Amino acid sequence: MLVGYMRVSSESDRQNTNLQRDALQAAGVDIRHLFEDRASGAKDDRPGLTKALEFVRPGDVLVVWKLDRLGRSLPHLLSIVNTLKDRQVAFRSLTEGMDTTTASGELLFHVFGALAQYERALTKERVTAGLAAARRRGRVGGRPPAIWGARRIAAARRRLAATPPSRCATRSCCGATLLHPACSGKLWVQPPAQPAIMPTAP
């Protein structure tokens, strides 16, 4: 059975699924088996797609007008198609001519998978090379320490002995959560209140 999925990026009346609907029906999709979304492809929450994926059964074919109607990116598209494949559901895109029920369509799908893997490898190489170049120039990633040096830590410890952490942290230009670990985990304890001295009657 053919199951169709349609999507437009906006809920505005200026965008509609008429073109996609006509193409899917011309491809043999029953109007009762059409699902649609009116949301950006970048959104994970797409009720129409969720219903379509729940509706399909082994042996069915999920049909879309174009690849970008289904996935927000190539890795996302491949993830959906792989999920369908695991459930023995085929995939067909009318515009690109991809059909995983045919040998050529299966080959094209594997080519897309190889391209996505190649893209991830290139991204990893660029990040690694950038970090190495920064280290050669003496730059280390991560947040700079808020407290450093033995003298500054010692001064912070002295302040903690009689000053609330929030006030002490403000004077030290750092947060209270950073001040305690830097000072060996010492905690400030509220000193007991002094009893009020009542005046004596003359």
Q: Which CATH superfamily is domain 2-114 in?
A: Resolvase, N-terminal catalytic domain (3.40.50.1390)
Quote the pLDDT of residue 191: 43
Q: How many CA atoms lie within 13 A of 142 on its CB side?
A: 6
pLDDT digit string, tens, across residues 52-94: 989 999 999 999 998 888 877 777 888 888 888 888 999 998 9
Token pair for residue 26? Answer: 């011309």
DSSP state of 198: P
* Domain layout of the chain by residue ranges: 2-114, 150-182
The better pLDDT of the pair 187, 179 is held by 179
Structural contact between residues 69 and 37, judged by C-beta atoms closer than 8 angstroms: no
Q: Reply yes or no on whether 104 is catalytic.
A: no
Backbone angles phi, psi at 105, to 5 degrees: -65, -40
The better pLDDT of the pair 114, 17 is held by 17
- What distance lies between CA 163 and its chain's CA centroid? 42
Look up tokens 């897309």; give the residue: 112
Per annotation, catalytic residue among 9, 10, 40, 166 = 9
